[in-house]
């Protein structure tokens, strides 16, 4: 327990240092910001002692990735394993953090003010812009972090975004990231994480595709956790 706390201090410290370096590099070499993020993320997996198991494959033609959320490691993991320039949807509170919020601004991620209904207009405009530029959107449809044991009810935002641009949606289940880095209990340890890539589906209005994706992701998470017991 004490060792995991010490590792958490080390991880938080090196995060602060390396994220600062990444921010500077992305501003200096903006056209290479995906490459910069990729190598940073791969370094993080090495430093944290993370081994990755993948079932299925991340679709290179997906327009939007819907991912369950339990740890900051979720973002690191996808940046390290997916070779496209992801446009993450993140809450405004992160973007407003002095200096470190620039980790969202430099690569033109999508910032949303969750409690502001008028923010939806900007969200749709920004997602369309990134989509037209060939960047896949990444969103956590639960809207917040969980303990990783089950999915929360999906928010409507991901459905609206995907249907507005008739996107190809790939559901992705991450397992074990909170066990590796738990910011709430401030612990960090090495271990294995799983990426479960489900089949890509088309977001069509007046269908139940969103409900089926939510159901399938929930079932997959439960099954994988049971198999790990």
pLDDT digits (tens, 9 = 90+) for 105-144: 999 999 998 767 778 889 999 999 999 999 999 999 998 8
Q: What average pLDDT does range 82-90 have in this prediction?
A: 96
Could you give all domains of the chain from N- to C-terminal order, each with its CATH number?
2-228 (3.40.1130)
pLDDT tens per residue, range 188-229: 999 999 999 999 999 999 999 999 999 999 999 999 998 875
Q: Which two tokens stand for residue 41?
A: 């993320």
* Residue 196 contacts residue 55 (beta carbons within 8 Å): yes
**151: exposed, middle or buried (C-beta count within 10 Å: 0-12, 13-18, 19+)?**
buried
Closest to 106 in 3D by CA, of 40, 49, 32, 162: 32
SS3 199: coil
- pLDDT digit string, tens, across residues 11-50: 999 999 999 999 999 999 999 999 999 999 999 999 999 9
pLDDT in tens, 141-182: 998 899 888 899 999 999 999 999 999 999 999 999 999 999
């Amino acid at each position: 327990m004490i060792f995991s706390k010490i590792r958490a201090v080390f991880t938080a410290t090196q995060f602060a240092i390396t994220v600062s370096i990444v921010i500077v590099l992305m501003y200096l070499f903006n056209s290479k910001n995906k490459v910069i993020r990729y190598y940073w993320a791969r370094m993080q997996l090495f430093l944290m002692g993370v081994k990755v198991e993948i079932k299925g494959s991340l679709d290179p033609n997906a327009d939007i990735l819907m991912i369950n959320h339990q740890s900051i490691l979720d973002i690191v993991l996808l940046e390290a394993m997916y070779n496209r320039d992801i446009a993450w949807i993140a809450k405004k509170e992160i973007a407003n953090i002095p200096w470190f919020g620039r980790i969202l601004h430099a690569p033109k991620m999508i910032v949303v003010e969750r409690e502001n209904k008028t923010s939806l207009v900007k969200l749709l405009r920004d997602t369309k812009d990134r989509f037209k530029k060939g960047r896949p959107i990444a969103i956590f449809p639960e809207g917040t972090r969980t303990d990783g044991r089950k999915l929360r009810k999906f928010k409507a935002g991901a459905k609206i975004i995907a249907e507005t641009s008739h996107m190809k949606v790939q559901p992705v289940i991450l397992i074990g990231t909170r066990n590796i880095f738990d910011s709430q209990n401030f612990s960090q340890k090495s271990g294995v994480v799983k990426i479960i890539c489900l089949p890509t589906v088309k977001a069509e209005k007046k269908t139940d595709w969103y409900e089926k994706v939510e159901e399938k992701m929930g079932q997959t998470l439960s099954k994988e956790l049971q198999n790990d017991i």
